[in-house]
Structure 1
């Protein structure tokens, strides 16, 4: 299940952040080339698996570090500074482990958590294209007898599925007492009979996330691996806030990485504009002014992510309607600001760096392509709506995985 990787087991939050920070320079090597040539990051994923980073949220009761939301956010931010695709592979892994922790039975938790501590990656098999909206699903989950279920369907944008050892597959099933079908998460081994993962992702950005198509044809799983995900939302929960915090952290990481890359380019390769009176581009007062404005935007987004992570951790410690609503709103603010910063900075990179930065061989446009693609994941306009309703009318945001 975990291939040949031998994973380190992380002991606490401080070690988790140190490991993420130590990984960054290694993951940065070749990132431009990997994106330009769509070279899938098998070696880099193996490094992450071996580092123990995948297991940091496994509960202490199961041998993990039980890391805080703030720790996960910082780890994703750090990885996002050098390669958004690698950071995005990790986001659904942590989100679905959170679902497993909340709603999974002891048998499936023991199995999956043990595999994750040994280096297994959980991939995402959630999105479909056939419904009227993104939450409608036609994947069928049906009893197969002898305490087993059979799952059939097609999933798209299945982030990390090519590299995964486990797939978290979603399906909706009629549940007595509920007016409409409710979501389940089924933990399926990547190599199970009837599972086909197709490397057909062709997005302009996030080129190396392994976000292809997953086809499931009569895949049989034992009942204990069918997790009633809907139970997560029957009471106050931070599930959605935690999942979205990961996305916000990735955006903010990219914004910081793009700004650092722009600064390096201006200092070492850009030429001063002749009207500036400066000998170097880095002393051009208008360039300095623009860097100052961009730095303000990135720092504000970073601060909002830190505040959001603290709100999620506070709500986890005391999950009430009020604390979880505040966590969701804090994360919505971080997501909106982080996405805007990522797009703005990755676009401004070319303005401050000048004509030379547009050379296709440099592949500096990967930051903008990644930011523009990733921020489409869920619309900022709905984040703003929830924030506005909460601020003006005290209306708590809904309980689902996108807030």
Structure 2
């Protein structure tokens, strides 16, 4: 059955809201049983949401960054694992948009509109740092390439139709090779054992002499030679996921207090929801969630402004705005998800309820890249006007 093609921004948000409600119902059970969300991802593909950034001249909705961030925030309120899976998908759609030839764009945009999913194979373990990529893309006499390497934290690869592989060519320049999931020599191990985001299947991809045609390789290193929004968009989606996790945790805490908690005897309140100290606490938590959502919208709007007129200055402003949103969202997600137990009381800690999945998801996801460096870049920008560096994590 072909995927639906979403027409515009309003439809994208409406579809995301409906899917979030659908996915929320089974999120706790999927996490507890580590049941991988294959059926849910098929629903996501069929809905057309995975193609909403396809350019209009290729038949897509080409939604704004603000809309895309809201899509991820909504999905994050329902399931912190499920929301994470398509994050790399959209990052590598952006690589196609920026670096793909007309022929490559025509092919891959048609794949996306048909509901195909992109995974990722970028991070490596045991290297000096996250940018130390050792997977090699070796040329063959016929113009094609061979891929060799091992990738970790490959979120979405297990469910993907295409796996974008970050690799270095002979000159050490970074490229992305788009490899079919069933390519000979490519294996995906479902060995992710993180305490949170348990159903992302962020396992290991092994590449052993994988043949890649020349027309499936894109020069990603060119992305960072001029003003770019690759990192800002990728980080915006991470911020949206954290903002969603916080909102989802707060909503579940409020429902628990309304329906299951007992009032503390000293409050003399008839119900826990009428305890003035709990009311105060919920008010404070909601302020933090609202602040995260507001910074997310502001950052997304700044990305949209920069996309309309991309210069070094507009790109820098977008990266800084997204960094601020990411720092706020990460702190809020961890704190609000942890505060759930304080406001909901002893029973909320029962393992059978699995309310701790919100904190586990937040704590795990916010380790993706350190917010301390984002604060550094914000400070340098404010004090000296220093533009942030051009890389995919800012």
TM-score bin (small chain): over 0.9
1:195 pairs with 2:195: no
Query: 2: distance between equivalents of 1:311 and 1:292?
Result: 29
Given the alignment of the two structures, is residue 311 of structure 1 paired with residue 307 of structure 2, yes or no?
no
Distance 1:312 1:173 in 2: 31
- Pairwise CA distance, 1:109: 1.7
What corresponds to 1:114 in structure 2? Answer: 110
SS of 1:202's partner is coil
CA contact (8 A) 2:76 2:82 kept: yes
* Structure 2 unmatched runs, 5+: none
TM superposition shift of 1:145: 2.3
Partner of 1:285: 276
Describe the superposition over 1:276-307 as per-residue Cα deviations: whole angstroms up to 9, x where unpaired. Answer: 11011101011011101100000000000000
Paired residue for 2:157? 161
Provide the C-alpha distance between the structure 2 equivalents of 1:281 and 1:145, rounded to a whole number of angstroms. 73
1:106 deviates by: 2.0
On the 8 A contact 1:10/1:56 being kept in 2, the answer is yes
For 2:255 and 2:182, the matched residues in 1 are separated by 44
Superposition RMSD in Å: 0.9
1:160-204 per-position Cα deviation (integer Å, ceiling 9, x unaligned):
0111000010012354xxxxx321111111111111011000000
How far the C-alpha of 1:6 sits from its partner, in A, is 2.3
In structure 1, the partner of 2:229 is 238
Name the SS of the counterpart of 1:208 in structure 2: coil
Report if aligned partners of 1:161, 1:197 keep a CA contact under 8 Å in 2: yes
Measured in 1, the distance between the counterparts of 2:55 and 2:267 equals: 57
Q: Is the 8 A contact 1:249 1:305 kept in 2?
A: yes
Contact residue 151 and residue 204 of structure 2 kept, 8 A: yes
Superimposed CA distance per residue, residues 28-70 of structure 1 (whole angstroms, 9 cap, x where no aligned partner): 1211010001000011001101000000001112111111111
C-alpha separation in 2, matches of 1:164 and 1:182: 25
Q: TM-score, normalised by structure 2?
A: 0.99
- 1:169 partner SS: strand
Cα contact 1:244–1:402 (8 A) shared by 2: yes
2:34 is the alignment partner of 1:34: no
Assess if the C-alpha contact under 8 Å between 2:273 and 2:279 holds in 1.
yes
The answer for the alignment partner of 2:374 in structure 1 is 383
> 1:325 maps to what in 2?
316
Matched, 1:226 2:226: no
**In 2, distance between residues paired with 1:320 and 1:120?**
32
Q: Deviation string for 1:250-272 (max 9, x for gaps)? A: 00001000000000000000000
Q: Distance in 1 between matches of 2:244 and 2:267?
A: 32
Aligned-pair CA distance for 1:220: 0.7
Task: Give the structure 2 partner of residue 132 of structure 1.
Answer: 128
The alignment partner of 2:86 has SS state of helix
Asked if 1 retains the 8 angstrom alpha-carbon contact of 2:138 and 2:170, the reply is: no
The question of 1:259 aligning with 2:250 is answered yes
SS of 2:158's equivalent? coil
Which segments of 5 or more consecutive residues in structure 1 lack a partner in the other structure? 176-180
2:177 is matched with which residue? 186
- In structure 2, the partner of 1:348 is 339
